[in-house]
Amino acid sequence: MQETLKTVTKTNTDWEAIRSQFPILKHEVNGHKLVYLDNGASSQMPQRVIDRINDYHSNEHANVHRGIHTLSQKATDAFELARKRMRKFINAQYEEEIIYTTGTTDSINLVAQSYGRKHFNEGDEILISAMEHHANIVPWQMIAEQTGAVLKVIPMDNNGELLLNEFHRLLSSKTKMVAVVHVSNTLGTINPVQEIIESAHAYDVPVLIDGAQAVPHMKVDVQALDADFYAFSAHKMCGPTGFGILYGKRKLLNEMPPYRGGGDMIDKVTFEKTTWNDIPHKFEAGTPPISAGVGFAETIAFLNEIGMDNIAAREQELLKYATEKLSMIDGLQIVGTAKSKASVISFLLKDIHPTDVGTILDQKSIAVRTGHHCTQPIMDSFGIPGTARASISFYNSKDDIDRLVDGIKYVQEFF
């Protein structure tokens, strides 16, 4: 028994073997083997997910939830498998709490519009943080404009840690929603969302967590967190684009009006009046991205086999290695130095514009993102135009980090 367990653990964390399952990582770009460090923007898919999508298109495709013919039922089962697996993956209590969306952005817009239109009034406050992605700012600004609600911002310090005493000060009976990022895509900060949720609940305020950069990198348990809403995207966790999840507590989702109207989300339609389908379908109007959902079910199985705790440990090891190596480079400044960080390193090179850093790194086939990373307010608060950002996945290697370090030194010599 002991032996078997050992074997399983070893197999699960054979990182070379895991890496070899990602076909794109074998490619050469600009004459060098690809070093892909832009996982925060989008991660790569393993062969088995690509194969599953291909197989679905070749053998199983039909529309879902509407046909009694065999193929439609098969497609529906394959598509619904992602919901079943996702419920377990994030430990939601009920399957119908897993709403399919097109991604984090869509999930947040859904809550802002559906929950917000029903519950927000003139003078109500929506509390977000200083390190939000635009996807967790703009939808709240839009609903604030529509309802007369006001946006309030939890500030952060120079390390990129939220000022929790300020959060407690801002929280009041006027607060009608708290929406906070779990892991910052720019700074890497892992926010104490459990504490934030607990404090908000003391005021009966629901909390939406933007988990786009958390779910791919650590075990997330929505019940343990007691999150009311939790949003994320498949394509940042080795799944396909165009697909995402909104987790919501059943009671809240049941009371919310639909976000978009059309087929599938209805119970009965007449010209006089339409009634709604039950959740999750009430929020899933029209033909969904079926093949992406089918592929995502395979992704979840893949991640489960490795284990999210193993993934988190591997990424922490790579983060530590990269932070040490990058810190040794003269003239390099890391932006985002919170105590609790995920595997994201934003950096500046003295006197060299981040865009130039990214362009020269690309010549060496090192893919990083440069710019404001859809977090312009973070850039404003640090008084910088942007950063270069290496965002690391479990399938990266120490060799990738060494190549990044060499690449950065090359950039410095170039200028």
Which DSSP category does 184 fall into? Answer: -
Contact between 213 and ligand 7TS per CB under 6 A:
yes
Question: Scanning residues 216 to 235, which ones bind ligand 7TS (CB under 6 A)?
Answer: 233
Q: Does 396 bind ligand 7TS (CB under 6 A)?
A: no
Among 205, 374, 378, 408, binds ligand 7TS (CB under 6 A): 374
CA-CA distance, 148 to 171, in Å (whole number)?
A: 18
**How near is the Cβ of 104 to ligand 7TS at its closest, in Å?**
4
Shortest distance in whole angstroms from residue 88 CB to ligand 7TS = 22
Phi, psi of 96 (to 5 degrees): -75, 0
Whether the ω angle into residue 385 lies within 30 degrees of 0, i.e. cis, is: no
* Candidate segments 19-27, 153-161, 210-218, 326-334, binder of ligand 7TS by CB under 6 A: 210-218
Binding residue for ligand 7TS, selected from 78, 128, 181, 390, defined by CB under 6 A: 181
Q: Annotated catalytic, 238? A: no
Using CB under 6 A, which residues numbered 87 to 146 contact ligand 7TS? 103-105, 133, 135-136
Q: CB under 6 A: which stretch of 189-197, 207-215, 217-225, 273-281 binds ligand 7TS?
A: 207-215
Can you say how many angstroms the Cα of residue 69 is from the centroid of all Cα atoms in its chain?
Answer: 36
- Work out which of 19, 20, 41, 153 binds ligand 7TS, going by CB under 6 A: 41
Structure tokens at 7: 């074997």
In the complex, what is the shortest distance from the CB of residue 215 to ligand 7TS, in angstroms, rounded to a whole number?
10
**What is the smallest separation between the CB atom of 322 and ligand 7TS, expressed in angstroms?**
17
**Looking only at residues 350 through 369 of this chain, which bind ligand 7TS when binding is defined by CB under 6 A?**
369
Ranges within 45-84 binding ligand 7TS (CB under 6 A): none
- Minimal distance in Å, beta carbon 42 to ligand 7TS? 7
**Spatial CA neighbour of 104 closest among 215, 195, 207, 217:** 215
State how far the alpha carbon of 98 is from the alpha carbons of 71, 84, 89, 227, in Å.
24, 9, 11, 13
Q: How far is residue 315 from each of residues 55, 122, 183, 318, measured CA to CA in Å?
A: 31, 44, 14, 5
Sign of CA dihedral 307, 366, 400, 33: positive
Helix (H, G, I), strand (E, B) or coil at 159: coil
Q: Which H helix or E strand runs over 314?
A: helix 308-327
Among candidate residues 18, 78, 187, 374, the one labeled active-site is 374
Alpha-carbon radius of gyration of the chain? 22
CB 114 within 8 A of CB 253: no
Does 390 bind ligand 7TS (CB under 6 A)? Our answer is no
Q: How many residues interact with ligand 7TS (rule CB under 6 A)? A: 17
Query: What's the rounded Cα separation, in Å, for the pair 140 and 126?
Result: 7
Residue whose beta carbon is closest to ligand 7TS: 185
Q: Pick the piece of the chain touching ligand 7TS (CB under 6 A) from 48-56, 160-168, 205-213, 331-339.
A: 205-213
If binding is defined by CB under 6 A, does position 335 make contact with ligand 7TS? no
Q: Is 179 left (phi over 0), alpha (psi -120 to 50) or beta?
A: beta
CB of 296 to ligand 7TS, least distance (A): 13
Residue positions annotated with a catalytic role: 374
What residues line the site for ligand 7TS (CB under 6 A)?
40-41, 103-105, 133, 135-136, 181, 185, 210, 212-213, 233, 369, 373-374
